[in-house]
Chains A and B, each alone.
Chain A
Amino acid sequence: MNRRGTADSASGQAYQQHGLSVQTPSIVKSSSPKGMSVHSEYCLEATGANKSFFLGRRRVIALDDFSARVKKGMVTGLIGPDGAGKTTFMRMAVGLLIPDKGRIICLGMDTSRDSLEVQAAIGYMPQRFGLYEDLTVQENLDLYADLQGVPNEVRPGRYRELMRMTGLGPFTRRLAGRLSGGMKQKLGLACTLIKPPALLILDEPTVGVDPLSRRELWHIVYRQVEEEGMSVLLSTSYLDEAERCQDVILIHEGRFLGQDEPHVFSKALEGHSFILTPSRGDKRRLQEVLSERHEVIDALILGEKVRLVTRDAMEPQEVKRCFQVGVDFDVQVVEPRFEDAFISLLKRKKEGEGEAELHHAITPSMVRGSRDEEVIAVKDLKRKFGNFYAVKGIDFTVKRGEIFGLLGANGAGKSTTFRMLCGLLPASSGELRVAGHNLRRARAKARAKIGYMAQRFSLYGGLTVYQNLRFFSSAYGLRGKRQRQRIGWALESFDLSGLKDARSGTLPLGYKQRLALAVALMHEPEILFLDEPTSGVDPLARREFWRHINALAEANVTVMVTTHFMEEAEYCDRMVIMAQGEILAAGTPEEMKARFRSPENPDPTMEDAFIALIEMHGQEAESA
């Protein structure tokens, strides 16, 4: 131990004295090298931090005069959409990036000067945590224990504790590459916690993780805070997770937007949030009309209802009077959510900056045909890869003009199903009819009637917006006058005229998404396939996107969508939840939620329903 010097023996003593507790803050403080903010109640302080990068020749400002403070001993959330600057800030906090201007003090140390000391004291889990996939779970743990200088004597106990907490105990000899997404993330967290850090920094730990594992991750994080007194800074773009934090910092486009306890944000909107129940199932029209009104901050579809956030506080009767829009509805006051506050903040900020209001929904031409017609019919569909069944015989039908959701965790088989429906992947067996054509025989005919928007927006980054539209429309066989008409329609409806000659690769994500949707709609398909269409775009862009999708559904276009955002499942008319290649449940969002209504949980969310279903399935599989 002496060989490793004093610090190791010091931490070794800390272990022995406090069992497995964190190095008490006093150790960190008393030995603070610069002797500053010794008794500070903050573990992380950023003052006027600036950072910009060069993307090609374009300068991108990632952080703009950003100041924020993270309090000790609690979970602080860094909340903002993708590209807001969350990762940049975290990398600066751990000394991996140096601010251009301003400074960041982490545990009393300047992160640009004393980065090694900072790194020795904190635990940081980057977005893609560095698990070595060809090492086993145990070997990964050993590596990080070696790197963190954890004394051999305390390792067995610490390992046991971490394995119990993460539930990875039975898998210690499995290669990390063979773990599921959620298990990988838990192992990453275990590796970060191997030597309990004074400050734990987690960059989007729940991204791409199924709701069940997400819940477990949160549980582990809270245990660190409650039992070990650890401070945690955690970033997320899921707004529902903000409510699980004790303190939140809002960040948007590299700028500080606000910081407080989450309920303070939502409290400010008390009396602004309502649930409207339309009497004749006209939820889409109601939402559309409401969205156009200036008094409305946000209108969201929630199963058969519409969730409304108004600009000013209102009484229910006032709401009824104010929004006489030709659709009859009941009004009910609800508790505001954190998301309402965030949207409200963003919207007011944009308006303050003079940016145009949200654009109108597109006006697609009506697809002919009855709404009772089944345009997608799947019967005993199977897909085998080698000996492994990715899809194990599923059945469902989708009617014209429906929005149909395909939900599931990674590896549930939803992408495979999706690819088969689009004709990108042949089925191993079963029946598959799309738009009246048997996909196993008349694939080309069926494809002419479908539009497909891929997850990563397959656009040609080197081509301009106009060139992309022209290329894709000719690929779908549009020529001459009709092609010009459609391009004109796309540029206007999606408000892309001003960006006609901009290279699509340089557009912000929200615009790319619009262009990708425009491209998929060039040939006026009857059926639209959307694969994780809104992952990574900010909440305002996501809302705008769904307004377009609603307009399409109103025009009898059938929409099939995969998503891992549980709130987006609420937009669907009907959906199926998949796990391990099987359908666990099918029905409307209301039916799904109603199945899990109980005295303890009278108003379950989509996520509650999802988790309950997966857990039930797991138990069945075990007892079988």
Chain B
Amino acid sequence: MTGEQPYGGHMRGISMMRLRGLVKKESYQIIRDPSSIGIAFVLPVVLLFIFGYGVSLDAQHVPMAMVIDKPDKAAFDFISGFGQSEYFSPVIMNNIQEAEKALMQRRIDGIVWLRGDFGRLLLSTGNAPIGVIVNGVDANQARITIGYVTGAWIKWLERFSMERGRPLNIPVNVDYRIWFNAAVRSRNFLVPGLIAVIMTLIGAMLTAMVIAREWERGTMEALMVSPVKIQEILLGKIIPYFVLGMGGMALSVAMAIFIFHVPLRGSFFALTIGSALFMLTAIFMGLLISQTAGSQFVAGQIAIVVTFLPAFMLSGFVFDIGSMPMVIQWLTHLVAARYFVSILQNIFLAGDIWPIFFSNCLWLVAMGTAFIVIIRKKARKRLE
């Protein structure tokens, strides 16, 4: 611009007065709008409780039928081991037909069948096969159940042999150890992953909806004609929702540590940096969505489809990315939550592993930058 500007002086930079006004306005709206408080603070609590307590990928108290064709001391000894395990609720049944019927009716999830020759084979060879039938409808649960039964069986055989001073002659003896999550509690990796999903919701969905609301109610037109700059409008949205999101984040982390007893092995510092980066990326996604959607309803729908669902399915929060088809694996690179899930699971369960942390942060920075560049390009103080 040339010459002396009548109003140009404060137009170059960002005016603190205008920005303060916008942030204040947004904060009042957040405080007075029950739905934003709901999404930021109530939703995390509800989701964490559902996933922390309700959804578990561990098999516990699986109802199993125990069928013993020829009752003897060894058979009862084996069965009693199941009764003490928290993984199973054994039910003794008289014959295999009755057990199969119960399985059909879904009263039980599996059958352990000790055939007539169980005791004889055990004493003669030291290795007695057992029959296991599992309801395979839920493949995950079935696999876990078979694993537990196998484990229980091998353990029992070992003890049985030991007591008799005879070496166990099974060809391969697996000695396994689990790192990072020694108790194999699925909660320990579900809860950190869930935090990423919740943050996606707060950041992307809330931001997308509130800007769409300004268009819908006609407040945007009045903002547009005030001397406010487009950067100030954007910042006026980013700052309050960033604070709100980080608040929700702190709540979730506190719940994870104190209620679900998920260990936090890494540093708060890394956790804060990682969360802040992700929060910004999620808010940028929200801003971008709101620029394309004209109404709150559409913005909400788009936010769910392009941010929330991918964060759920493709972030590695529940489903392991490594076992997805190649094409889908590539696709997961576009899901910001993927990097945050990785950051969180590392910080919580493994500690500050800087190479992993930095590479994930770098991805987030790259995505965030791309988003903000597009937003800035698209945002104009015009109604067209």
Contact = CB atoms under 8 A, between A and B. Distances in A.
A96 B382 contact: yes
A115 interface: yes
B6 A33 contact: yes
Nearest to A131: B219
A33 B1 CA distance: 9
B28 A139 contact: yes
A143 B6 contact: no
A117 interface: yes
Contacts of A218: none
A7 interface: yes
A387 to B, nearest CB: 22
Contacts of B32: 134
B3 A4 contact: no
Nearest to A3: B16
A35 B222 contact: no
Interface stretch (B18-26, B76-84, B301-309, B337-345): B18-26
Interface string A92-111: 00111110000000000000
A621 B228 CA distance: 44
B6 A27 contact: yes
B221 interface: yes
Given A119-B225, A147-B223, A128 B218 contact: yes
Interface residues of B, number: 44
Centre residue among B1, B21, B22 by max chain A CB count within 10 A: B21
B10 A7 contact: yes
A8 B10 contact: yes
B15 A149 contact: yes
A117 B6 contact: yes
A35 B6 CA distance: 11
B217 A119 contact: no
Interface residues of A, number: 48
B356 interface: no
Contacts, number: 144
A135 interface: yes
A121 B17 contact: no
A529 interface: no
B3 A126 contact: no
A6 B225 CA distance: 21
Contacts of B33: 134
Contacts of A146: 17-18, 20-22, 24
A130 B213 CA distance: 11
Given A130-B218, A132-B25, A144-B226, A116 B10 contact: no
A198 to B, nearest CB: 10
Contact of B21 (A4, A10, A131, A143): A143
B5 A124 contact: no
Nearest to B224: A96
Interface string B203-233: 0000000000010011111111111110000
A147 B228 contact: yes
Contacts of A596: none
Nearest to A91: B383
A312 B379 CA distance: 56
Contact of A130 (B17, B220, B384): B220
A38 interface: no
A264 interface: no
A591 interface: no
Contact of A117 (B8, B20, B21): B8
A126 B24 contact: no
Interface in A142-189: 142-149
A404 B165 CA distance: 107
Nearest to B9: A5
A135 B221 contact: no
A260 interface: no
A32 B13 CA distance: 21
Contacts of B7: 7, 116-117, 120-121
Centre residue among A95, A129, A130 by max chain B CB count within 10 A: A130
Contacts of A8: 9-10
A553 to B, nearest CB: 39
A129 B8 CA distance: 26
A45 to B, nearest CB: 18
Contact of A126 (B1, B28, B218): B218
Given A5-B9, A146-B18, A31 B4 contact: yes
A394 interface: no
A571 B132 CA distance: 89
A134 B28 contact: yes
Contact of B5 (A7, A96, A129, A131): A7
Given A33-B3, A130-B219, 15 more contacts: A4-B16, A4-B17, A5-B13, A7-B5, A33-B2, A33-B5, A95-B381, A116-B7, A117-B11, A125-B222, A127-B218, A129-B218, A143-B21, A143-B22, A147-B223
Which 3 A-B residue pairs are closest in the complex by CB-CB distance?
A146-B21, A130-B222, A5-B9
5 contacts: A7-B8, A35-B3, A120-B7, A120-B11, A139-B24
